[in-house]
Structure 1
């Protein structure tokens, strides 16, 4: 079998993948990020490489167009806007899913030739606060940690990071290290109890934005107990005294933790030399995100716990090339090679290297400000590449309206329909994962190759090539005549050498003579050098900076706080993962976690719908009643879009409040009101054809046999059959109908000959039936009455709702294994294979074991 070495296109772990054109996917055992392990999303990549729904030709105003006329139009429109309104009237919005070569040429075109810095990226929503924290403390955006540190640490502190679901392979590496060294301790700091919490020795349910108070309290404790590394501070750090003085002024109880919890955590941290603090979106996505980062960094700098094996702060990134984007200056306030756009010497160096006619002299518009400028009429031409801001940005409905106001909008994507693409004047078909070549950098600074193993479909082109074609047509032929991504990468490496005299951290000299085609995963800088064990920071005096940071004043409202995040098996707005049926089988419907006490107050029971609202918008989500969240705290995933639901995108509720230093939105603390959604009817559909979500409430997902949908409405339609045919795209075929004695419950089965092509179940209450069984009947020759029974017969075992997406193991299969004697997570793995791949379902397996004494409920 011919398998190609490439890299997974999802999170920032950067796992190596062996991929084949037939859909074969295996973990690469030689890649140092994952050593052959893949999470459920990575394992299902082979199910996402089909061409269904792909954009395969350029489109102008909804009609097919050829490349030459389309590229001419883009160049003309951008040149006209620049000529009539100045270079700051145009903007690019990029993505952590594009490759380093794509990022490089886009930034070169905008900053060095158009002359504006209005080029930002959705990584602004992910890790911009970490960039600011690093630059303030270290002088550069340097991530000093490596994955090996996670295995060598004696204490790992996970702050605002559901590693088990968002970075499963790293979670598995930590779990394996803890199993080998049981004395390793793990602290999970998170307002929710998550799958990650199950691995922790201590769970600290921190209050909203309580991180600065917590770590300032730790810094004061370190100082007051003589636990500072005074030699390290003297030789390598400035600002220690002001930082400690400010830390002593804050009240650690504002973290929301008890005195005993604080004491236990502080004592554990103080008494353990090898500490790694891993932080992610729970820290970054905050109005005080940058200060949270520096509060963490202060503690590591004050004790010298940085730069040595098993020690250091570690920002883990959410996207496959968030780090590569940072390296090439993908953010509006940066230049390539970690140079600063506001430093005239840095600008001159880059401009001279590019031989460019101009260079932006100041930072451009950050993501939220960029789309506000669109709303204000300041942006006349916008190019969005490989991202979906009409869903993913805060105030998503407002962003969609802002995009509509831009006179000329270009969207490059692999899919013909996205929420953002539906607003574009021009759609450009880009090559996707498996079809394009380039490099990405993972969270530990390791550069790997993404390689093509599929033919390029239709008229799709790689992003770097499209951008260069536009640059040439705008008048800069000599600067954008790259013939391959290898040539782009070579220029990027050469720029690193040209800027070496500035003594920045980003040293790519090890790639100067690299064989691009055969590039192996390589971490910079060269020779396995570690950062900062002996100082060597990038401020002019070579010292780090400890910053005095102040805990924000707690502010309690009367409503609920909505926290947004990710599902275990989905990625961003599901453009790719939504294609894989097994990834939707775990949590197929948009939901909101609510505490049982709050649910009771709102008269919400299992299966009800909840309406969340605030002045920005409204969302309707399925209630998931659980003590994993605390009272008055809600949690909802951000994946669902207008393509998959009618009311379930949640970023329309988020305000445009951002961290004042980083511009990163505060997506974890959204003020909302909540009430039971007063539906008069509920419906569930399973069908062969694509199902529409276009209902008062609707949410759809792929299945192994077609599609399924959850529906609800305020008023019952006059004709259930007509509604079902419309939603399920069933124009012809026979229908069988069953009603209960009261006439309130209706079940419809649609047949084409003897084949079941659709099932529709309606009830005045949330529909209770075995969904996995209903899905399994689509395409079979099951008699109508049996198809409408809603549960399997004795001769048809029903696996139940999927728990292990990697290996497609259902809850009923697991329950039977427990009944047959499997009394541990490992025993369940032996009996069913569940949890034996990425392991992120293991917490759910443990809960099944704990709950087995309860009556088994039908799924």
Structure 2
């Protein structure tokens, strides 16, 4: 079958993919060599996309009150409940929570429905958790939410500074571009991050500043720029606020950063002494109660030196979701209108209202995400529609959010999965099309619009997101305004509206595509906006902004501590983030065994000194508590994390590891300008979790654990599970039969009560189908071998001598394990990461495992030297 060009559904890089159906629902996925974002490369997640398109767990029919029904009945019910709620309590009694997983056309219809016809601005998005501080910072500096640069700037920069961005793991394809520039033209790399991450492997300088202290660092840089005479006075003639910004910066000190003056001086020398500088920033900047100020502190330095809008220069926000940018463009945030128009501007509101022929447009912002769900909890929001996101896990104070959704009078969830933490709370579930079944557009981090093309048929009764909304809107009496035939028609309307925004002098204008035909839309190649009188490129080299006076703004910002203060009860700061091979709450990635094999359970990274002080040993469990929640996580002891700080990933849910829902620990403190929550600096306490036993189980069938701790992941033959408990089962065989639901299977049981060890295997027709290993301490097993459910003597927990154990997965792109790499290093005398790649392919695709390979090489050399 011929390949179809589409776009990867993960991060905001927006990589092009070539999709080829394999029959029986399968899909072959390759990088698109002609797409400007990735030039054929894919990361580990993108490479495994073909493993995530199965129907396991898919929602295939509408459900009302837990019972499958037909579309007409479900849609009539939703329309009736929303209409009655609005009639009785007003338009602000309903709300919509959207997602950067939605296509632009879906987002457009949702925004039109809520702001134009329901008449409320209570539509927000999970992008509020991702990049809202960047939006606010951009608007303060530039007058609108404009990303100034392009990916080509990474190729042309002489210095790239990563601030709060583990680019190597979270945006690997962009990281590869930086490394290519480093090799080709000597580009320097600085990493500003509290943790030593994979991105530090190739860095020329790492600044491990304290959590939340970015403003203090960049204020010092701005001061040093002025002291060094490095100001661009010509550019500053177009800028307001320079004197006030510099005066405020001079009043700050570097003490909050915890960095030495020598290290900060070296950073300033490198930044000032290099003309072409790109400062890439991500969640470490955005997810803060001072996130907007952090953004402006970075932008200030670029404006002061005129390093913006020219090749290899500029502040560059990299977004976390595939269509966070598209959501920004259509007004998916509660405080924006479509096409970067302003909801507080009467002329803008009138223009949009007239274009839509809408009955009403709200005159001010609606509820931002955190406040929206607090309003749900208070009963102010009585009807809620959630689309393609999992707020019961991802929002701060997740336990309270979960309770709020459960207690809401009426909740609709449009989803592909039937049993997410949020789906199970819904009154109505509407089955949605998944990424390979969708048709429309997405916009990536550098403003490139790409086509998402359907390559697989939607299963069961699944329908596109825009169709869900349009059908409800029609039933609510909004008629022809939502009578869309396809996504191309929605795109044309969106493009036409952008022309009106262009008439107001807005940056977002794709009106050059407003007359595109269906066939031209189908064939649309990637295009960077604007697409109108000028073609998409860089912004602001001329110093002209989108403020009414056309001048840029430098914003005075001063360091302030994270919102919550540490106290004796909660002496640690908790930093949260992503791991290499998982995505959000794993609805998709958890379907891939090889993506789950790298890090198969939630963990907390803790400094060795803190671990000793708390009596926490490697691979044991840690109980982490905060004023809002509790988690139990596997201990990873590492000096990559600063003393007094912890790090834990965000991905695990009630479906995959109930005690690993990390956002239950995060308080709902938000930035006063952006409303973005502070997800990087929650206060918490940690102590050893006193488990009486640890276990590891594998099974060809789903398991039903009842113990204090468990985390499940897929394997090539079924499922694998880590377990632990504080009470030792009275009978291990009974406990195992209950776990596996195997009351009658043949069992092989080996127990040693004196040592507290139990090993059990269960067979059907002489085939091994399940096994459980338990002991008083963390288990040293060949897990990846055991997870294959071998029919040999599995209870040894080790592979036979004639069957090499690949060990834990290290390179997910090519399925290469740690032991395979170590064996090659020792037997073949491999000395470099490149040599390992040549021998085993590991590290030659997305490159995100290269730092770990380098660590294996360094440890091997250290062992040789010691011998």
Q: TM-score band, normalised by the shorter chain?
A: over 0.9
814-823 vs 736-745, which deviates more? 736-745
Q: How does 1:623-662 map to 2 (within 5 A)?
A: 623-662=635-674
2:472 maps to 1:470: yes
Aligned twin of 1:541: 549
Distance 1:218 1:701 in 2: 45
Per-residue CA deviation, residues 362-386 of structure 1 (Å, 9 max, x unaligned), is 1000000000000101011000000
- Asked if the contact 1:646–1:695 (Cα under 8 Å) also holds between the matched residues in 2, the reply is no
Aligned twin of 1:708: 720
Aligned twin of 2:600: 588
Aligned twin of 1:430: 432
Q: How does 1:310-325 map to 2 (within 5 A)?
A: 310-325=312-327
3-state SS in 2 of match to 1:324: helix
Distance 1:741 1:387 in 2: 46
Alpha carbons of structure 1 residues 616 and 556: separation in structure 2 relative to 1, 3 Å:
closer
Give, in angstroms, the shift of residue 853 of structure 1.
4.8
2:844 maps to 1:836: yes
Give, in angstroms, the shift of residue 557 of structure 1.
3.9
Aligned twin of 1:808: 815
Distance 1:522 1:350 in 2: 25
Give, in angstroms, the shift of residue 528 of structure 1.
4.1
3-state SS in 1 of match to 2:17: strand
Give, in angstroms, the shift of residue 702 of structure 1.
0.3
- Asked if the contact 1:586–1:803 (Cα under 8 Å) also holds between the matched residues in 2, the reply is yes
Q: How does 1:455-534 map to 2 (within 5 A)?
A: 455-514=457-516, 515-526=520-531, 527-534=535-542
Per-residue CA deviation, residues 791-814 of structure 1 (Å, 9 max, x unaligned), is 112111100000001100001100
3-state SS in 1 of match to 2:454: coil
3-state SS in 1 of match to 2:85: helix
Per-residue CA deviation, residues 12-68 of structure 1 (Å, 9 max, x unaligned), is 000000012222110000000000000000000000000011000000010011100
2:214 maps to 1:211: yes
**Equivalent of 1:193 in 178, 192, 196:** 196
Alpha carbons of structure 1 residues 521 and 693: separation in structure 2 relative to 1, 3 Å:
farther
Aligned twin of 2:386: 384
3-state SS in 2 of match to 1:186: strand
3-state SS in 2 of match to 1:852: helix
- Asked if the contact 2:289–2:671 (Cα under 8 Å) also holds between the matched residues in 1, the reply is yes
- Asked if the contact 1:129–1:664 (Cα under 8 Å) also holds between the matched residues in 2, the reply is yes
Aligned twin of 1:165: 169
- Asked if the contact 2:117–2:359 (Cα under 8 Å) also holds between the matched residues in 1, the reply is yes
Aligned twin of 2:2: 2
Aligned twin of 1:364: 366
Per-residue CA deviation, residues 278-326 of structure 1 (Å, 9 max, x unaligned), is 0000000001000000000000011100000000000000000000000
3-state SS in 2 of match to 1:781: coil
3-state SS in 1 of match to 2:436: coil
Aligned twin of 1:281: 283
3-state SS in 2 of match to 1:334: coil
3-state SS in 2 of match to 1:359: coil
Q: How does 1:220-299 map to 2 (within 5 A)?
A: 220-234=223-237, 236-299=238-301
Distance 1:469 1:381 in 2: 17
- Asked if the contact 1:697–1:712 (Cα under 8 Å) also holds between the matched residues in 2, the reply is yes
Distance 2:557 2:256 in 1: 14
**Equivalent of 2:302 in 300, 306, 316:** 300
Distance 1:227 1:660 in 2: 32
Give, in angstroms, the shift of residue 705 of structure 1.
1.2
2:611 maps to 1:611: no
- Asked if the contact 2:493–2:514 (Cα under 8 Å) also holds between the matched residues in 1, the reply is no
Structure 1: runs of 5 or more not aligned: none
Aligned twin of 2:13: 13
- Asked if the contact 1:644–1:693 (Cα under 8 Å) also holds between the matched residues in 2, the reply is no
Distance 1:16 1:693 in 2: 40
- Asked if the contact 1:100–1:440 (Cα under 8 Å) also holds between the matched residues in 2, the reply is yes
Per-residue CA deviation, residues 765-811 of structure 1 (Å, 9 max, x unaligned), is 111111011112x1x432xxx21001112111100000001100001
Aligned twin of 1:24: 28
3-state SS in 1 of match to 2:250: helix
Distance 1:191 1:781 in 2: 47
Alpha carbons of structure 1 residues 274 and 690: separation in structure 2 relative to 1, 3 Å:
same
Q: How does 1:75-224 map to 2 (within 5 A)?
A: 75-182=79-186, 184-224=187-227
* TM-score, normalization by structure 1: 0.98
Give, in angstroms, the shift of residue 500 of structure 1.
2.3
Alpha carbons of structure 1 residues 466 and 733: separation in structure 2 relative to 1, 3 Å:
same
Distance 1:717 1:693 in 2: 12
2:797 maps to 1:797: no
Give, in angstroms, the shift of residue 627 of structure 1.
1.1
- Asked if the contact 1:646–1:696 (Cα under 8 Å) also holds between the matched residues in 2, the reply is no
710-719 vs 278-287, which deviates more? 710-719
3-state SS in 2 of match to 1:282: helix
2:672 maps to 1:668: no
Give, in angstroms, the shift of residue 643 of structure 1.
0.3
Matched residue pairs, number? 849
Aligned twin of 1:69: 73
608-617 vs 90-99, which deviates more? 608-617
3-state SS in 2 of match to 1:647: helix
Alpha carbons of structure 1 residues 671 and 495: separation in structure 2 relative to 1, 3 Å:
same
Distance 1:398 1:30 in 2: 46
- Asked if the contact 1:698–1:712 (Cα under 8 Å) also holds between the matched residues in 2, the reply is yes
Distance 1:283 1:322 in 2: 16
Distance 1:190 1:693 in 2: 38
Per-residue CA deviation, residues 242-264 of structure 1 (Å, 9 max, x unaligned), is 10011111112322211101111
Distance 1:699 1:530 in 2: 46
- Asked if the contact 2:415–2:431 (Cα under 8 Å) also holds between the matched residues in 1, the reply is yes
Structure 2: runs of 5 or more not aligned: none
Give, in angstroms, the shift of residue 743 of structure 1.
4.8
- Asked if the contact 2:691–2:726 (Cα under 8 Å) also holds between the matched residues in 1, the reply is yes
Distance 1:463 1:493 in 2: 19
Alpha carbons of structure 1 residues 226 and 743: separation in structure 2 relative to 1, 3 Å:
closer
- Asked if the contact 1:693–1:700 (Cα under 8 Å) also holds between the matched residues in 2, the reply is no
Distance 1:511 1:628 in 2: 48
Give, in angstroms, the shift of residue 634 of structure 1.
0.6
- Asked if the contact 1:15–1:27 (Cα under 8 Å) also holds between the matched residues in 2, the reply is yes
Distance 2:671 2:388 in 1: 25
2:347 maps to 1:345: yes
348-357 vs 19-28, which deviates more? 19-28
Give, in angstroms, the shift of residue 645 of structure 1.
1.2
Distance 1:456 1:550 in 2: 51
* TM-score, normalization by structure 2: 0.97
766-775 vs 34-43, which deviates more? 766-775
Distance 1:496 1:41 in 2: 34
- Asked if the contact 1:390–1:396 (Cα under 8 Å) also holds between the matched residues in 2, the reply is yes
Distance 1:384 1:523 in 2: 30
- Asked if the contact 1:646–1:694 (Cα under 8 Å) also holds between the matched residues in 2, the reply is no
Distance 1:11 1:460 in 2: 24
Aligned twin of 1:781: 791
- Asked if the contact 2:608–2:638 (Cα under 8 Å) also holds between the matched residues in 1, the reply is yes
